[in-house]
Structure 1
């Protein structure tokens, strides 16, 4: 595992959500293999507030819910164990990071800091939970495509047939 982010220069960045990410990582690994570089999977915890950032990119934060004072954000070990074989199968080095704050902003800044060639994210999650989250926060992919300069690849997570209703139409 890389000891600091300078070891990640040129890696592809994949934004993943807790408990999932296989489809996004599979595509991101393909890009990393073609570019001859590694992949860093990033989880961003929006339920924490960053209060300072060091010159090395280290962010100090606290949770919005005081009952969740359980230390700094961390990438889930079980999720990493599910994702690592996907990268290893293509000979791609996989690193993980857990960040705090607004997801699109954090992914964009992190990717820029490490000189990533691109950011890979998944399409919106279907259902009421995904719709409510996007109503208040907006699509991470949409924010990334308008608020930073790196290419953004959006992996379709649940494509629908041309004749079917789009996920957000179910919630209206």
Structure 2
């Protein structure tokens, strides 16, 4: 027995919600050594929405400074500190993403920003009119716990500082969640 089709009518009134097509890019925050699971989920989302994927690495060892001529330049927080190869780190991340994303048909780009990751990703999301921000959870371990204690969770800061949805991709789940393969 067939059910009669329900007639769909546009909503009316002052509280009528009309969904709109998502057209803004997916913005993904990346860090050195991050598992590709984050890139894969962000790529799947961008592919499903048929939008561009912007991959952004934020260098926390630099900050943005405005020069007298109006230019904004990234400067090291500690000029006498360890001379990290930021260009090398960025190039390495981009190369890894190229291996993972080239040939998938997804339109993507890679950018490097400076400063606080949550603020930099929020500013980039605003300027690109991103529809969603994708980040990964931190790896487990004492170093990650100490870093989170000092700078906090990027995902938490993002959710409190801007209006876009934030997708957090879990990394390294507890061992009890892994299924053992039977042979």
Same fold (TM over 0.5): yes
Gap runs ≥5 in structure 1: 1-8, 164-172
Paired positions, count: 151
Larger of the two Rg values belongs to structure: 2
Report the equivalent of 1:114. Answer: 128
Cα distance, 1:128 vs structure 2? 1.2
Gap runs ≥5 in structure 2: 1-22, 178-183
Asked if residue 146 in structure 1 is aligned to residue 167 in structure 2, the reply is no
How does the TM-score come out when normalised to structure 2? 0.73
Report the equivalent of 2:51. Answer: 37
CA RMSD in angstroms, aligned pairs only: 2.6
SS of equivalent residue, structure 1 residue 66:
coil
When structure 1 is superposed on structure 2, of 128-137 and 14-23 the one drifting more is: 14-23
Report the equivalent of 2:79. Answer: 66
**Partner Cα distance (2:174, 2:149) in 1:** 21
Cα distance, 1:79 vs structure 2? 2.2
**Between structures 1 and 2, the one with greater helix share:** 1
Query: Which portions of structure 1, spanning 4 or more consecutive aligned residues, are displaced by more than 3 angstroms?
Result: 67-75
How does the TM-score come out when normalised to structure 1? 0.77
Report the equivalent of 1:92. Answer: 106
**Partner Cα distance (1:114, 1:47) in 2:** 24
Q: CA 1:73/1:147 → structure 2, altered by over 3 Å: closer, same or farther?
A: same
**Partner Cα distance (1:131, 1:70) in 2:** 25
Which among 31, 49, 52 is matched to residue 17 of structure 1?
A: 31
**Partner Cα distance (2:25, 2:83) in 1:** 30
CA offsets 1:23-68 (integer angstroms, 9 cap, x no match): 1111000000011111111011111121129xxxx74121022146
Q: CA 1:108/1:21 → structure 2, altered by over 3 Å: closer, same or farther?
A: farther
